[in-house]
Structure 1
Amino acid sequence: MTATGSKASTTNKTLGHPLNAWYVAAWDHEVTRQPLSRKIANRPLALYRTEDGRAVALADACWHRLAPLSMGKLVGREGIQCPYHGIVYNSAGRCVSMPAQETINPSATVPSFPVVERHRYVWVWLGDPALADPDQVPDMHQMDHPDWAGDGLTISLNCNYQLVLDNLMDLTHEEFIHTSSIGMDNMSAVGFDVSHEENTVTLSRWMRNIDPPPFYLKNMRDKFPGFEGKVDRWQIIRFESPSTLCIDVGVAKAGTGAPEGDRSQGVNLYVMNTISPETDRTCHYFWGFMRNYRLESQLITTQIRQSIDHVFGEDQVVLEAQQVAIDANPDYEFYNLNIDAGGMWVRRLIERQLEAEGRLVATV
């Protein structure tokens, strides 16, 4: 499977998106008493909060003439009013008021989708509501655990979400794209281990006795002022299908036991990534960057957020150019190198989910 130059496990350059899954629709602070429009997996949504603070996700199209509900206003404890003719729906999507008539048409409903708030995000389930188990929300507990501090942003990308997953599963691109921050020479030559379960893929890479890249040297000095010398560096990527990757990264003073589990002489960080497809060629990339040291420092939080935003901006240029090339070459098939082993397993798990839903189709 990992032979150099092998064909991809599917002839599709990008895959569709499973619907029986939790996707992030917004940061929790984005959903307020002002309706928010957001498209997830080709479905326009109207997001808002009821008076008691509960997040709601309705289809963003009125039953009457399909006017966007997100352009309307909130009424009462949990209602939303269509901006066009004033029809009011409750949080379950059922019409509770029609203009100029007392009798409400029993078919006057709009879809309402299961919502869960967890890890600073509002998650939505667009598939079979009977399968919407909150326990299946991906584990991103570092986002709001008291032992971790950090922040993140959202990137709107003009590319299929699968290209972002490919990018995050193969971090050897740091050697070529991120030379001024997190990249290092010869990363692509470092060995790695890949394992997988029914719904997850884990890729681990250790780089021993190396010079710390600029980003990590700064973070070491934030924790250990004046630090100099070699480090042991790690990248442990855990993918949870269909679109969440939590990456355990960091460096520690070389030879102090980090590979064996003692990270006390280093800095440990988590790159939290969850990518929600918007359309077949666009996506919402929600990311956070968390650390477990100097928790009190807002300065460090802001500096890291700005640094990582710059790093991901470099990725954005390449990923969007890649999507343009894919669209220009619809008959071309991907090839795989050894470094693509983790990403190939990611694609295989997504393919299995799409097959289970009867939706394994090309999107290019």
Structure 2
Amino acid sequence: MTDLGPGGATAKNMAFPLNAWYVAAWDYEVTAAKLVSRRIADKPMALYRTADGRPVALADACWHRLAPLSMGTRVGTDEVQCPYHGLRFNSAGRCTHMPAQDTINPSAMVASYPIVQRHRYLWVWPGDPTLADPSLIPDMFQMDSPEWAGDGRTIDVDANYQLVLDNLMDLTHEEFVHSSSIGQDELSESDFVVTHDERTVTVTRWMFEIDAPPFWLKNMRDKFPGFEGKVDRWQIIEFQAPGTIRIDVGVAKAGTGASEGDRSQGVNGFVMNTITPVDERTALYFWAFMRNYCLDSQLITTQTRDGVHGVFGEDEAMLTAQQKAIEANPDHEFYNLNIDAGGMWVRRIIQRMIEAEKAPSANIDALTAGAMN
């Protein structure tokens, strides 16, 4: 067991930072014709698009009697009409119409949250809008790069979002939870390296001269029909605060130089994961599998997406059971193994972000400054 010091994993760390970008929806889920209800970081939001396609995120509660705006209707070029008494609000959250009166109360407003469309997702900032810097949106360029192809889905997880991050930062669980698809003994037997800075954590693992597990053997045969033999396998897990994890994964014919950068004799994918806290006990898990081979094959895209969805279904069942056990054992703290090193650094970064928001002078620099000190 490794002593990673204070500020590490605990079953009681259920909170999440508000001054951060979280995915609220896939870009195609939100249109100008309808309103979408989402709870992001425990803040109910009504999502829609203006007539010119610009995404909007308003607080999902009318100023008048708190009726959910998401139950209302779209009117005009950028307005929402409350379903209860017909008040209308524009995309900035300001009331533009009140029934049966000409004068509009100047205090009649609802919160309008910063929202940005990027990497096939809609990202919202539930915290202080003056700190919403789009440059802090995590890098997921593979999602919309012409050099990568793939698709994904959304999972409603009945577990705290940090438990999902724990799961992704330590892939040795594949040996036990996913033994029929991507798991193998070499996962827990191989060494790994953990590096980190103020906003990221990276876990790197290589496995040499091994048999390809079923999922990767199929992918090798998609690119190299009839492939047989040993492979070198890699997993490079990169966390970007506060909830995004890209996992560079793949296998290549053993001894062909993949670990030195030549992956031409293999197949490479990126498991793209971004996890959004709904509240302290549930999360939205947006994921995709992107590949850089056989780019024109919709069949491979569909088969891979469905296969990965089945794998993640096994994770979902385990995370749900874990959340229930945490709630049933409120005084129990987590114990930490060597394999938890990456997840521990992730939790430290998140905890420091939360602590910075509580400080009287919290600002964007304080969110990350000295995160690892």
Q: TM-score, normalization: structure 2?
A: 0.94
Q: Does 1:263 align with 2:270?
A: no
SS at match of 1:139: coil
Q: Cα distance 1:153–1:11, how it changes in 2: closer, same or farther (>3 A)?
A: closer
Q: Distance in 2 between matches of 1:8 and 1:196?
A: 15
Amino acid at match of 1:78: D
Q: Distance in 2 between matches of 1:8 and 1:115?
A: 31
Q: Distance in 2 between matches of 1:124 and 1:207?
A: 38
Q: Spell out the pairing of 1:108-123 with structure 2 (5 A cutoff).
A: 108-123=108-123
Unaligned runs of 5+ in 1: 360-364
Q: Deviations over 1:294-331 (max 9, x none)?
A: 00000000000000000000000100000000000000
Q: Distance in 2 between matches of 1:286 and 1:51?
A: 26
Q: How far does residue 149 in structure 1 lie from its aligned partner after superposition?
A: 0.2
Amino acid at match of 1:25: A
Q: How far does residue 343 in structure 1 lie from its aligned partner after superposition?
A: 0.4
Amino acid at match of 1:16: A
Is the contact made by 1:86 and 1:98 (CA closer than 8 Å) also made in structure 2? yes
SS at match of 1:176: helix
Amino acid at match of 1:269: G
Q: Which moved more, 1:13-22 or 1:262-271?
A: 13-22
Q: Which structure exhibits the higher relative contact order, with contacts defined as CA atoms closer than 8 Å and separated by 6 or more residues?
A: 1
Is the contact made by 1:208 and 1:231 (CA closer than 8 Å) also made in structure 2? yes
Q: Deviations over 1:79-138 (max 9, x none)?
A: 000000000000000000010000000010000000100000000001111111111110
SS at match of 1:335: coil
Is the contact made by 2:152 and 2:289 (CA closer than 8 Å) also made in structure 1? yes
Amino acid at match of 1:246: R
Q: Deviations over 1:1-26 (max 9, x none)?
A: 8349x897254443311011000000
Q: Deviations over 1:131-189 (max 9, x none)?
A: 11111110000000000000000000100000000000000000001011000114112
How many percent of aligned residue pairs carry the same amino acid? 70
What is the RMSD of the two structures over their aligned residues, measured on CA atoms? 1.3
* 1:105 aligned residue: 105
Q: Spell out the pairing of 1:5-154 with structure 2 (5 A cutoff).
A: 9=8, 11-32=10-31, 33-154=33-154
Q: Deviations over 1:330-352 (max 9, x none)?
A: 00010000000000000000011
SS at match of 1:303: helix
Q: Spell out the pairing of 1:276-291 with structure 2 (5 A cutoff).
A: 276-291=276-291
Q: Cα distance 1:86–1:49, how it changes in 2: closer, same or farther (>3 A)?
A: same
Q: Spell out the pairing of 1:283-362 with structure 2 (5 A cutoff).
A: 283-358=283-358
Is the contact made by 1:200 and 1:238 (CA closer than 8 Å) also made in structure 2? yes
Q: Distance in 2 between matches of 1:44 and 1:11?
A: 27
Q: Distance in 1 between matches of 2:129 and 2:30?
A: 21
Q: TM-score, normalization: structure 1?
A: 0.96
Q: Distance in 2 between matches of 1:190 and 1:94?
A: 57
Amino acid at match of 2:18: L
SS at match of 1:181: coil
Q: Distance in 1 between matches of 2:276 and 2:42?
A: 10
Q: Distance in 2 between matches of 1:40 and 1:91?
A: 18
SS at match of 1:48: strand
Q: Cα distance 1:299–1:46, how it changes in 2: closer, same or farther (>3 A)?
A: same
* 1:174 aligned residue: 174
